[in-house]
Structure 1
Amino acid sequence: MRKIVLFCSAGMSTSILVNKMIEAAKAIDYDCTVEAHSVSEVARLGADADIVLLGPQVRFNLAGVQKTLPGKPVEVIDMRMYGTMNGAAVIDHVRKVLGDDK
């Protein structure tokens, strides 16, 4: 099971995306958990994630998060995917990054 953790500024709109991602993952039988938290929790809650996703509104934190979680995939969610709450596209991206799209 893959653990996907999203970080944003407050977690409100990201929680909607989380639900869309969970629906999309279930539709393709992709075994994962998806959580959303405030970016201030990266060090505490990102360490055991398989991949960390940042909301576009906190993309300026990318380098800092990568430094905090060395060796872990850290990606900024595409602004269009985020804006349209396209959970399926985000799951597809995660699967590609993690090599689970084979």
Structure 2
Amino acid sequence: MKNILLVCAAGMSTSMLVNKMEEAAKEKEEEININASSGGDVSKYIEDAHILLLGPQVSYLKKQYESDYSSKGIPVEVIDSLDYGTMNGKKVLDWALNTIENNN
């Protein structure tokens, strides 16, 4: 099972994207666990994460999270602002899974 963690300022907008990504995962018939979090709650989910995706509004945190988690093999990426704004869960999910695959 793949574990994807999304982070935004308050965790609310990413929750909507998580729902869209979960719908896309069901269509793929893949077991994927997706969590949304505010920046302050990352530690609750990061140990199981295969990738950390940042909402565009918190892209400024990328270097900090890379410093904290890249050494643990967890890629840190910023979600494309168009995909985020349109809540394109399928595209974000496919991109995340490809990134995980290419990181292994």
Aligned to 1:62: 62
Structure 2: any 5+ residue segments left out of the alignment? none
RMSD (Å), alpha carbons: 1.3
State the Cα deviation string for residues 7-28 of structure 1 (Å, max 9, x = none). 1100111110000000001101
- 1:34-73 maps to which residues of 2 (within 5 A)? 34-69=34-69, 70=71, 71-73=73-75
Q: Classify the secondary structure of the residue corresponding to 2:35.
A: strand
The count of corresponding residues between Structure 1 and Structure 2 is 100
Cα distance in 1, alignment partners of residues 14 and 100 from structure 2: 21
Q: Classify the secondary structure of the residue corresponding to 2:47.
A: coil
Q: Report how far residue 41 of structure 1 moved.
A: 2.1
Alignment TM-score, normalising by the size of structure 1: 0.91
Q: Which shifted more, 37-46 or 78-87?
A: 37-46
Aligned to 2:23: 23
Cα distance in 2, alignment partners of residues 20 and 93 from structure 1: 14
Identical positions, percent: 46
Alignment TM-score, normalising by the size of structure 2: 0.90
Aligned to 1:85: 87
Q: Classify the secondary structure of the residue corresponding to 1:30.
A: coil
Judging by fraction of residues, say which structure has more helix.
2
Cα distance in 1, alignment partners of residues 91 and 63 from structure 2: 24
Q: Report how far residue 46 of structure 1 moved.
A: 1.4
Q: Report how far residue 47 of structure 1 moved.
A: 2.5
Structure 1: any 5+ residue segments left out of the alignment? none
Q: Report how far residue 98 of structure 1 moved.
A: 1.5
